[in-house]
Amino acid sequence: MDSVDLNVLRSVLEWRRAGQRVVLYSVVQTWGSAPRPPGAMLALREDGVVIGSVSGGCIEDDLIARLQDGRLPVDGSSVQLVTYGVTREEAARFGLPCGGTLLLTEELVGDPAWVAQLLARCEAHEIVARELNLRTGEVLLSAAGKTDVLSFDGTTLRAIYGPRWRLLLIGAGQLSRYVAEMARLLDFEVLVCDPRKEFVYGWEEELGRFVPGMPDEAVLSIETDERTAIVALTHDPRLDDMALLTALNSRAFYVGALGSRINTRKRRDNLAQLGLSEQAIARLHGPVGLHIGSHTPAEIALSLLAEIVAIKNGVELQQKQPLLAAGEEGV
C-alpha cells in the first residue's frame, strides 16, 4: 500500500470523526491504458475537498461535479458503480488514453471504525483484505497473504492493503543519502542504521528515520518482514556482515551488500565461516544493482533501486553485473 492511499484513509478517518460526510472512490477494474491501477483510492469531502487520485485529473473534476449537482449517494446502504471512458469521446473528454476505461466504486462512508482498524493493522505490518459488499455497503476485514490480489465478482470487492515497503540502509555515508532520496520518491519508508556518530551529521530527518543500536540489532528491532529490503553500504565488514548475518535469515524480500565480485566472494566465504547456511548465503545480492555503467553515487543508487523495485514487482532479472560492481574499482 502506498503512502497516497494511506493518506486517503487517514483523511477519511479524520473527516468522519469530525462529523463530515465523505464519499470514497476505489478503482475496481481498468481496460486498456489507465492512469491509476486497481485499488487506487480518492476521498471526496462534503465541501468538495479531495485527497488521493483515480486518474490524471479530469475524472476528479467530474466527481466533484457529481457532488455539486446532487448525484452522490444519500445513505450507505448500497455502493454504486461508476464507469468512465466507455466511448472514444468520453475517453477523450476525461483525458484517458485511447481505449482506456475505468470502473469505480462510489461508497458513502458511515461508521469509520473499519478505517481505524485497517490503518492500525497496516501500522502493525499486517496484510489485510477489505471486503466491500456492493448491495449492503457492509465492510469486512480479514487477514490476507502477500500473494493475494484485488478481486471483484460483481457483488463483492476484495481489496488488499498492507504496510508500506521499507528499505533499511546499513551505513549513513554519501551513497546512502542518494539511495534514501530516490527511495522516498519511490514511496519506500527509509530506515537508517549507523553506529558511527561521525556519519550522522547532515542527514535531513525527512530522508530517513535512524534506528539505534548495532546493525544486527536494527534488523531485529524493526521486525523485518516480506515488505522490507536491507542493503549494507558501509564497506566495513564489521558492520555490513553483522547486519547480513541477521538479515539473510529474516523474511526480507531483498538483502544486498555493496562491493565488487571479488569482495562479494570473500564476503560469502566469511559468512559461511561464521556459520550461515548455504541457503541463506544464496539469498545475498552482490554486487548490488543492475548494470547500467554506473560511476557516480547517484548512478549507483539508481542501479541499486532499479534492482530492488524489479524484485518487489516480481520481475525476473536477466541483466547481470560485469566483473566489478557499479562504480567499483575492485575494492
pLDDT per residue rounded down to tens, the chain (331 residues): 667 788 899 999 999 999 999 999 999 988 766 667 889 999 999 999 999 988 766 788 888 888 888 777 666 677 989 888 755 565 556 555 545 678 999 999 999 999 999 999 998 889 999 999 999 999 999 999 878 899 999 999 999 998 889 999 999 999 999 999 999 999 999 999 999 988 888 787 778 999 999 999 999 999 999 999 999 999 888 899 999 999 999 999 999 999 988 999 999 999 999 999 999 999 999 999 998 988 899 999 999 999 999 999 888 876 555 434 444 433 3
Instruction: Identify whether 323 is part of a domain.
Output: no
- Among 119, 138, 161, residue at a domain's last position: 161
- Does residue 111 share a domain with residue 40? yes
Cα separation, 11 vs 234, in Å, equals 39
Cα separation, 187 vs 1, in Å, equals 9
- Among 104, 130, 161, residue at a domain's last position: 161
- With a CB cutoff of 8 Å and minimum separation 6, the contacts of 204 are none
- Do 199 and 172 form a contact (C-beta atoms < 8 A)? yes
- Does residue 24 share a domain with residue 157? yes
Domain containing 78 equals: 3-161
Domain count along the chain: 2
CA-to-CA dists, residue 122 to 1, 10, 128, 183, angstroms: 9, 12, 7, 20
Residue 288 gets the label, from left (phi > 0), alpha (psi -120 to 50) or beta, of beta
Give me the helices (H) in the chain, please: 3-17, 58-68, 88-93, 113-123, 174-185, 215-221, 237-247, 261-273, 278-281, 297-312
Entry pTM: 0.75
How many alpha carbons fall within 13 Å on the CB side of residue 115? 21
- Does residue 262 share a domain with residue 213? yes
State the CATH number of the domain containing residue 291. Answer: 3.40.50.720
| The three grid cell numbers given for residue 140, joined into one nine-digit string | 469486512
Instruction: Identify whether 96 is part of a domain.
Output: yes
- Among 117, 146, 161, residue at a domain's last position: 161
Degrees, nearest 5: CA angle 236-307-150: 130
